Amino acid sequence: MQIQAKRRENTRIMGCIPVKRSCWHCDGLVGLVVLLSSCGTIPPGPGAQGSLPGAVLAVGGGGTPAAAVRRGLQEAPRPEGGPRVAVVPFASAREDRGLGSVEMWRKAGAPSVALVPEDEGARALLESADLIWLGGGSQSRLMESLERLDLVELIRDRHRAGALVGGTSAGAAVLGGIMISGDPEPDAYTGGAMAPLRSLQLIPGVIVDQHFRERKREGRLISALLDQPTGWVGVGISEATAAVFEGGTFEVLGDGVVLLLDTSSAQVDRGASGALQRASGVTLSVHPPGDRRELPGASGP
């Protein structure tokens, strides 16, 4: 797993973020952009030339811990003036979707925060973002919207160019090598019960599950994991808890625990779809806040 640990500083100049050729001109709001810096023309985002992949920040829902927000701003590229945050609220159908995340990043000190519209205006915002934040709701709805607007590869490109990509709840579930939806909840420990769905694939060979401790999701994560090739890893994140993936490691922040399920030494009998699963040698480790752990050499997208 190649997620580089070192960051490269970027020296872009801050300015307004255009949406449909408009921006917030310091005296009013135009479109869906919340801009908190001085106005000007935005140069291109972190260059692909020589840039290292960004960190990935996955929050288990139930509120984003302050430590995770601070870490996100520290890990994101820092052009002159500070990182620009793009909040993607597509997982939710609420009228006020994303506004809480915008306020969260603003209060944390982000100099520029944009609420990304679910239309053709999204591309310009994401192309210049240093930190892309995916809100909660339905992970299936989120991925369907990103695919419909042709934004999946763009987000991957931004991550490869150094931007931090993170999310909470549904926004965390799309970060791994595959996505599981849990809609409906599967029969635990049954082969094929948890269909692997397309994801952003920012953490190869890893399945991220959220609300893990509170909703007792051990069965569904193990079921999904045993359907994948040996060597995949399951990461279950409690509410108000974050896992920061960087440089082949993850670090735990917040209030709860992160569970790591590792199949690299397991023997798995992959029977027929619908049959009960059989496995031995799957390892489990429990990590409270402050723990830092190397990820096994997971394989897969």
Catalytic residue among 239, 246, 251, 287: 239
Catalytic residue among 51, 92, 128, 169: 169
Query: Is residue 239 flagged as an active site residue?
Result: yes
- Strand partners for 258: 237, 287
Which residues make Cβ contacts (< 8 Å) with residue 175, sequence separation at least 6? 56, 58, 134, 165, 166, 167, 199, 200, 202, 203, 208
Catalytic residue among 199, 211, 223, 251: 211
Query: Is residue 75 flagged as an active site residue?
Result: no
Query: Is residue 280 flagged as an active site residue?
Result: no
Q: Kindly list the catalytic residues.
A: 169, 211, 239
